[in-house]
Structure 1
Amino acid sequence: MNKNRIITYLLFIAMLTTMSPIVEAQESKLPEAAIYIDKQPINTRYIMRDDHLLVPALFLKNTGAQVDKNEKYNSIVFKMKNKLFSLPIGTNYLDDYNSWLDIWKRSTISTATVNFRGEIFVPLIDVATKLGMNVTYDSVNKTTLITTNYTIESNLVRNVNTTEKLVALTFDDGPEDKYTPEILDILKEKGVKATFYVVGQQIEKFPEQMRRIVNEGHGIGNHTWSHPDLKNKWSATVKEELLSTQDQIEKVVGLQSDLVRPPYGSYTKAETVLFNEIGLKNILWNVDTEDWSGNSADEILSNVRKDLAPGSIVLQHNFGGNFLDGTVEALPRIIDELHEEGYQFVTIHTLLDRAK
């Protein structure tokens, strides 16, 4: 172990005494702490084992690394840029892949990767260092800092900068056959175009509604196949969620989307890498109607009025049990009121095209 590595370990031991008492993997409730990744604090559970800090393997997705589980070899696989290595669960080994020689080389790490109640924890310093990152401890602020040395092109849009009174209505989670046709009827009657973020398995169940969305001139975006929280999924699963939805969209309407909205607006840097790789622009929102909660039409209108500005993206839903009656009731009122204020309703693509 070189001098810098020894210093880093000593810093972590000092840090952990300020976070909470040592917690062994056998305990039922794990403590939490914020670890800063490229200056952004991210809370995580952690385990202390043999005086070493272990974090959930999926936490490393926040660095931009792709993280997967290899069921055949019972190991956790990390990939970032030209680095590829795996940690066999229950061992203190690291298997490093040499692409030039097409071989795996085994080495020893500080402590074993462990399975704690179905969740895999890995030694943070070993993994971060192997990924080419710098890990330090700020003794003044008592914080752990990871510098990834990895630049990821952000493609996030919450709203656009424009002086034009443009607004984009968006609807998530469909299609289906209750609220979707009612919403489409209103949009058609009012001559308004919107954007629908569609779920793959819903397209499969309701292809006619999907075709109607496209045939009536509305935009579409990828909202994954089964609507999971992407932060909690292995990278290969996330990729399959996205690509299977792309395939289903193409199968039903003959085209693919270049827009994505992660369910719950939840994603990590690893998802951003995948969005960029697939060619999907990440579209969130700045106006949340909170219609999913069963809000009344008046409550939905109040939320729209509160946050609306030129270039806004409004989040609504067209699938979600029987809680969206307020959405349908509010929609014509939103359209009429904003028209009176001089707003023009556009799809996300049009909004992006006309951004300053």
Structure 2
Amino acid sequence: MLTDAENKPVYELDAGRRAVALTIDDGPDPRYTPAVLALLQRYGIRATFFLIGENVVEHAALVREIADCGHHIGNHTWTHPDLRHMSEGAVRDELERTSDLLHRTTGRQPTWFRAPGGDWSPVSLKVAADLGMRNMAWSVDPRDWARPGTSAITDRILKDVRPGSIVLNHDGGGDRSQTVAALKAYLPVLIDSGYFFTAPPN
């Protein structure tokens, strides 16, 4: 059982090391996820992918590829709803169905959950704890989902990142070509600045 401290959303890692956690939300998407995976492989980076159940059903082979590449896979609900206005039963259905499917698809039970939009509720925290999952938030949000332009995404990340940052990016939910281009631009800069990438511990 998780303690109250473990159950609180994690916004940052230990700042004592020059480590950054890269998190990728809303996939998998057959257009953009393979490009993200290729970039991560090129730079030897392990990331955490928060996947939506509905997309996992459609693209199971891609989910297995993410897992086979050594990335963490987290639960991002079944349909990406706003959990703050839902009953415990409805929230449980969203999380449990997704965890069960990810387990069946990858052979691993997800240990991290991220609420859509970062909108946690007491109910969703309780359900995640019941299902043995901790909650991961973020500290750097370039708002890439709004497609502000590749340079805007890149600049926001390079300006805001610091040791222990958890960075939010998206590979699903629409046209993510700007996000892919931004990853191409900022990953080598961060590596050259002495950062290394980690997936938070299970």
TM range (shorter): over 0.9
Select the residue among 183, 202, 219 that pairs with 2:55: 202
Q: Map of 1:192-271 to 2, 5 A cutoff?
A: 192-271=45-124
Say which SS state the counterpart of residue 109 (structure 2) adopts: coil
Give the match for residue 25 of structure 2: 172
For residues 4 and 43 of structure 2, the distance between their equivalents in structure 1, rounded to whole angstroms, comes to 41
CA distance, structure 2, for counterparts of residue 152 and residue 347 of structure 1: 22
Deviation digits for residues 49-73 of structure 1, max 9, x if unmatched? xxxxxxxxxxxxxxxxxxxxxxxxx
Distance 1:220 1:155 in 2: 19
SS in 1 for 2:27: coil
- State the shift of 1:152 in Å: 5.2
Aligned with 1:168: secondary structure? Answer: strand
Q: Which amino acid aligns with 1:343?
A: Y
What is the 5 A alignment of 1:16-55? none
Partner amino acid, structure 2, of 1:344: F
TM-score, normalised relative to structure 2: 0.94
Structure 1 residue 301: Cα displacement: 1.3
Conservation of the 8 A alpha-carbon contact between 2:19 and 2:197: yes
CA deviation map 1:130-152 (0-9, x unaligned): xxxxxxxxxxxxxxxxxxxxx95
Q: 3-state SS of the aligned residue for 1:314?
A: strand
Task: Find the aligned partners of 2:149 and 2:40 in 1 and give their Cα distance.
Answer: 19
2:180 paired residue number:
328
Aligned to 2:200: 348
TM-score, normalised to structure 1, is 0.54
Contact kept in structure 1, 2:91 and 2:123, CA below 8 Å: no
Aligned pair count reads 199
Amino acid aligned to 2:179: T
Which residue, 151, 166, 190 being the options, matches 2:43?
Answer: 190
Deviation at 1:162, TM superposition (A): 2.3
Q: Is the 8 A contact 1:152 1:269 kept in 2?
A: no
Q: Larger strand proportion, structure 1 or 2?
A: 1
The runs of 5 or more residues in structure 1 that have no matched partner are 1-150, 351-356
Alignment RMSD: 1.5
- SS for the counterpart of 1:348 is coil
Say whether 1:273 aligns with 2:130. no
Which of structures 1 and 2 has the larger relative contact order (alpha carbons within 8 angstroms, sep 6+)? 2
Q: Distance in 1 between matches of 2:112 and 2:184?
A: 26
> Distance in 2 between the 1:160 and 1:262 partners?
18
Which of the two has greater helix per residue? 2
Find the counterpart in structure 1 of residue 146 from structure 2.
Answer: 293
1:318 pairs with one of 171, 174, 186? 171
Distance (Å, rounded) in 1 between the aligned partners of 2:195 and 2:100: 35
- Structure 2: 5+ residue runs without aligned partners? none
How far apart are 1:348 and its partner, in Å? 2.2
Q: State the 1:230 CA deviation.
A: 0.4
